[in-house]
Amino acid sequence: MRRYRTLIKGSASELIWLNRLAQKGWVITKVHGNWYDFKRTNAHYRIFSEYVPNEIATDMATAHDQIFQVLASVPLAVAPVQVVYSGSTRDEVAQTRVEQHNAPLELKIALAMRSHQLNVMNTFFFVGLAFIIIALLITHGAIPNEIQSWIGTIWLTITAVLALRSSHSHRIARQLRQETQNYDGAWRPTMHVFLKPFLSDLDTDKLASLGHWHLVGHGKNVYWYDLETLASDEEVRQSVKKIVPADVTVTVMTSLGLAPIGYF
């Protein structure tokens, strides 16, 4: 049996799905992209998955373990590791509670999967649009309206399905970003932070937890920084006040605001 699923390789949700099928007598045998192959079995398997470095994964595939059997593995493009799927029919193993979660690696997988799905969606949308336009030009609009309607409906439906898959991957990536606090490459609202009077660079290392700081400019005892952050303006203001002299006025404005009059 073969199934298609867009799941984070090695994630808890994938493992729950694999064990649910194993309880029904279908055990994983191969993983290729988003395709999963299963074989029918009468044995009662408990499935496990783990992230393993490539060199160790090779040894695991040839090892003869009386308790665990390597069922499948899939290499990851985002790191030199493989997801190894193993199973056991031992009763004592079936009752074992295992909690394994590698959020940073799962985030890399989710971002790569989202990027791939967005590329597929965009390619299908624009290629399909070009095909429809060319077909109408070649036939001089002679295609019956009913056929045009069917073609348009199919094109938009497939695009919508691809968009939903991308949206699902985006939600997973967003949750993992919040869990890991890793927002590298992600869009975040920009706050404009003005310090006056201020005569030296702000020690942004002490404020790194707020987000990414960028010095825009300075002059007339004023320093202007842009901060990419998910924090509120009040959170930013209070955090900055803790590390600057008491006489420094900290003004925080969103990306829609303008510099206060008289600052420059």
Q: Enumerate residues 6+ apart whose C-beta is below 8 A from 197.
A: 221, 222, 247, 248, 249
**193: its two tokens:** 């932070």
The answer to whether the predicted template modeling score (pTM) of the entire model surpasses 0.75 is no
pLDDT-derived band at 262, boundaries 50, 70, 90: very low
Distances (CA, A) of 74 to 53, 77, 155: 11, 10, 32
Q: Are 250 and 224 in contact (CB under 8 A)?
A: no
Q: What rounded mean pLDDT belongs to the chain?
A: 85
| H-state helical runs in 103-188 | 103-138, 145-180
Whether cis (ω within 30° of 0) applies to the bond prior to 189 is no
Using 50, 70 and 90 to split pLDDT, how confident is the model at 136? confident
Q: Cα–Cα distance between 139 and 94 in angstroms, integer?
A: 64
pLDDT at 24: 93
Name which of 55-64, 166-175, 185-194 the model is least confident about: 55-64
CB contact at 8 A, 117 and 165: yes
Give tens-digit pLDDT for 66-96.
Answer: 677 888 999 988 888 899 998 888 776 666 6
Give pairs for 79-82: CB < 8 Å, separation 24+: 79/105, 79/108, 80/53, 80/54, 81/51, 81/52, 81/53, 81/54, 81/57, 81/105, 82/51, 82/52, 82/53, 82/54, 82/57
Give one DSSP letter per residue of 129-151, joined into a string.
HHHHHHHHHHTTT-S-HHHHHHH
pLDDT band at 26 (very low <50, low <70, confident <90, very high): very high
How many Å apart are CA 14 and CA 47, to the nearest integer?
10
Predicted confidence band of residue 259 (pLDDT cuts 50, 70, 90): very low
C-beta separation of 8 from 113 below 8 A: yes
d(CA 200, CA 178) in angstroms, rounded, equals 33
Write out pLDDT tens, residues 186-243: 777 888 999 999 988 899 999 988 888 999 998 888 999 999 887 888 999 999 999 9
Q: What's the mean pLDDT in 113-135?
A: 92
Calculate the alpha carbon distances from 45 to 48, 173, 235, 246, 250 in Å. Answer: 10, 30, 51, 65, 61
SS3 165: helix
pLDDT above 70 for 128: yes
The number of CA neighbours under 13 Å toward the Cβ of 62 is 4
Q: Which residues contact 113 (CB under 8 A, 6 or more apart)?
A: 6, 8, 169
Residue 215, helix vs strand vs coil: strand
pLDDT, tens digit (0-9, with 9 covering 90-100), for 234-258:
999 999 999 999 999 999 987 654 4
| Sheet of 2-4, strands arranged across | 2-4, 35-40, 26-32
> Which pLDDT score, from 0 to 100, does residue 58 have?
67
Asked if the model's pLDDT at residue 181 lies above 80, the reply is no
**Which residue ranges make up each domain of the chain?**
2-99, 104-180, 190-254
pLDDT of residue 184: 78
